[in-house]
C-alpha cells in the first residue's frame, strides 16, 4: 500500500503542511475539481488531486474521507486552506504536474508496486 510520503516522491511534490502525517496509508486516490463529485465518493483514506485552492477543498476532502490533498499545476492554496489543513492534520502537497500526468504517475507506481 502507498503512503503519502511515496506520493511526494512520485510527483516530486512540495509538502505545504502536514509533514508529520506523511506516513498515512492511501487506499485510493481521486482527481476532481467538482466538490459535489468528491462528496459523492464512497472511498476512505483517499488522496484528492485538484486544481481548486479554496478552504472548501480541505473541508470537502475531510468530510468525504480524504486524508490529504495534492494541488496540481503548481497552484498554491489560500492561506485559509493551509490553516484549516494544519488544524485538522491534513497534509497538503503541491506539484507542477497536470492532473493527467499526476494520475498517470501514481497509477504507474501503484502498478509497479503491485507486481513486486
- Domain layout of the chain by residue ranges: 2-115
> CA-CA distance, 86 to 71, in Å (whole number)?
15
Beta bridge partners of 49: 31, 70
- Domain spanning 2-115 has what CATH number? 3.40.1390.20
Mean pLDDT over all residues of the chain? 95
Q: Is the pLDDT of residue 21 over 90?
A: yes
pLDDT band at 1 (very low <50, low <70, confident <90, very high): confident
Q: How many CB atoms lie within 10 A of CB 32?
A: 19
Query: pTM (2 decimals)?
Result: 0.95
> CA-CA distance, 57 to 88, in Å (whole number)?
13
Please, which residues have CB within 8 angstroms of residue 95's CB and are 6 or more apart in sequence?
11, 12, 13, 14, 70, 71, 72, 74, 102
pLDDT in tens, 42-78: 889 999 999 999 999 999 999 999 999 999 999 999 9
Q: Is the pLDDT of residue 95 over 90?
A: yes
Q: Is the pLDDT of residue 116 over 80?
A: no
Amino acid at each position: 500500500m502507498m503512503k503519502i510520503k511515496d506520493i511526494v516522491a512520485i510527483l516530486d511534490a512540495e509538502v505545504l503542511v502536514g509533514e508529520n502525517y506523511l506516513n498515512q496509508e492511501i487506499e485510493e486516490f481521486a482527481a476532481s475539481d467538482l466538490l459535489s463529485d468528491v462528496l459523492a465518493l464512497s472511498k476512505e483514506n483517499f488522496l484528492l488531486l485538484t486544481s481548486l485552492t479554496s478552504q472548501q477543498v480541505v473541508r470537502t476532502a475531510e468530510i468525504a474521507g480524504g486524508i490529504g490533498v495534492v494541488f496540481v499545476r503548481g497552484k498554491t492554496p489560500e492561506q485559509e486552506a493551509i490553516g484549516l489543513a494544519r488544524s485538522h492534520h491534513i497534509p497538503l502537497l503541491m506539484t507542477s504536474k497536470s492532473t493527467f500526468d499526476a494520475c498517470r504517475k501514481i497509477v504507474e507506481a501503484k502498478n509497479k508496486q503491485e507486481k513486486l
